[in-house]
């Protein structure tokens, strides 16, 4: 390489580094400005997102095999405060599926506790003013289903199959057959990836101690970690991408691959629950220390808790928004 080409390459590398730092700073500023912990962000979408997250905390509690006695009182009161705030800012409950869903889940939560001999009076009192918004024909909270019914739906037409997959937090004690994981991953490998670079990997650990240690650190598995048979660790290779333009591609490809994988797992009778990884560097280093064989150049995107379906189990309903809230046609 002659000196001119060398200098051109060095200049390009320097510019790329500058652009990358500039792009990440822009990402930080944009996210810091719009994330809903910013007290200045009071858009309807932001307030609904906060309500959806809190609602799901309560749904998840009800969907466990053994919910904690008298669970969720503080969470329910906080959810009611969020709904109060939503109304105070002039948004209409009847126009908001997330808020109507929250009210329905609170009703299901109160009914659940009543069945178990507990009446959280403070929640009941605050809830009363919103009970008029209940949509009686809708099912909220949790649904009980049999493995056989789910298996039948999973063999149906694509819409029926797709709608039959749910995040599950109850698993049987049956040991996972590695061949089922192999078949599912093989299908997931058909998922689209940026320029077909196929940066994602799925790490499946049979070692019980590794799964136990992962479960102790992973966020979002409280109350059902003891039932998880295995965790799958999804990674994406940072060295598969270049330039600031592709700085977030590990997460994009990782998400696409994961969606394909959990659907494939469902097809082969394996229940799953996706658990996000938003941990800081120190925690991620600990994850890699436990896993041992994940290289430095691979970013841990998320974890999937898996196990076979129980004969009968419950799952969170988790209502979706209306189509016109998601599909915008101009």
Encode pLDDT of 247-279 as tens digits: 999 999 999 999 999 999 999 999 999 999 987
| pLDDT tier, 6 (very low <50, low <70, confident <90, very high otherwise) | confident
Q: 3-state class of 43 per DSSP? A: coil
pLDDT attached to residue 309: 97
Q: Which residues contact 17 (CB under 8 A, 6 or more apart)?
A: none
| pLDDT tier, 1 (very low <50, low <70, confident <90, very high otherwise) | low
pLDDT attached to residue 137: 81
pLDDT exceeding 70 applies to what percent of the chain? 100
pLDDT attached to residue 278: 84
The answer to whether 221 and 291 have CB atoms below 8 angstroms apart is: no
Encode pLDDT of 160-205 as tens digits: 999 999 999 999 999 999 999 999 999 999 999 999 999 999 999 9
pLDDT over 80 at 52, yes or no: yes
Q: 3-state class of 220 per DSSP? A: coil
Which helix or strand (DSSP H or E) is residue 143 part of? strand 142-146
**From the centroid of its chain, how far is CA 185?**
19
Q: What's the average model confidence in pLDDT over 228-242?
A: 97
Q: Which residues contact 247 (CB under 8 A, 6 or more apart)?
A: 20, 23, 24, 27, 241
pTM of the model: 0.94
For 90, 156, 255, 323, the CA distances from 159, given in Å and listed in that order, are 37, 8, 21, 16
pLDDT over 70 at 214, yes or no: yes
pLDDT attached to residue 45: 96
Question: Cα angle vertex 32, ends 17, 72, to 5°?
Answer: 130
Encode pLDDT of 69-108 as tens digits: 999 999 999 999 999 999 999 999 999 999 999 999 999 9
* Exposure string for 38-57, b = 16+ CB within 10 A, e = fewer: eeeeeebeebbebbbebbbb
Q: How far apart are CA 260 and CA 308, in angstroms?
A: 18
pLDDT over 90 at 112, yes or no: yes
* Exposure string for 244-256, b = 16+ CB within 10 A, e = fewer: bebbebbebbbbb
| pLDDT tier, 235 (very low <50, low <70, confident <90, very high otherwise) | very high
The answer to whether 233 and 300 have CB atoms below 8 angstroms apart is: yes
């Amino acid at each position: 390489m002659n000196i001119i080409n060398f200098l051109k390459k060095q200049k390009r590398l320097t510019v790329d580094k500058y652009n990358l730092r500039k792009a990440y700073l822009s990402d930080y500023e944009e996210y810091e400005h719009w994330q809903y912990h910013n007290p200045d962000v009071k858009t309807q979408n932001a307030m609904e997102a906060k309500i959806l997250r809190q609602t799901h905390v309560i749904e998840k509690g009800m969907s466990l095999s053994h919910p904690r006695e008298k669970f969720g009182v503080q969470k329910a009161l906080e959810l009611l405060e969020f709904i109060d705030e939503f109304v105070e800012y002039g948004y209409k409950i009847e126009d908001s599926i997330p808020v109507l869903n929250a009210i329905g889940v609170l009703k299901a939560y109160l009914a659940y506790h009543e069945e178990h001999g507990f009446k959280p009076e403070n929640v009941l009192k605050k809830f009363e003013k919103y009970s008029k918004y209940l949509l009686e024909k809708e099912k909220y909270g949790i649904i009980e289903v049999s493995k056989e019914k789910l298996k039948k739906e999973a063999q149906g037409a694509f819409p029926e199959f797709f709608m039959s997959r749910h995040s599950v937090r109850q698993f049987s004690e049956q040991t996972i057959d590695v061949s089922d994981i192999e078949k599912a991953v093989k299908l997931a490998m058909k998922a689209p990836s940026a320029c077909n670079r196929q940066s994602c990997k799925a790490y499946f650990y049979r070692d019980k101690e590794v799964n136990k240690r992962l479960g102790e650190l992973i966020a979002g598995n409280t109350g059902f970690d003891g039932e998880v048979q295995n965790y799958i660790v999804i990674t994406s290779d940072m060295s598969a991408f270049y330039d600031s333009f592709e700085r977030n591609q590990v997460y994009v490809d990782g998400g696409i691959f994961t969606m394909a994988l959990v659907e494939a797992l469902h097809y082969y009778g394996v229940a799953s629950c996706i658990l996000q990884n938003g941990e800081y560097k120190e925690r991620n280093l600990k994850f890699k220390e436990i896993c041992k064989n994940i290289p430095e150049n691979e970013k841990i995107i998320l974890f999937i808790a898996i196990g076979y379906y129980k004969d009968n189990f419950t799952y969170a309903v988790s209502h979706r928004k209306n189509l016109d809230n998601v599909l915008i046609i101009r």
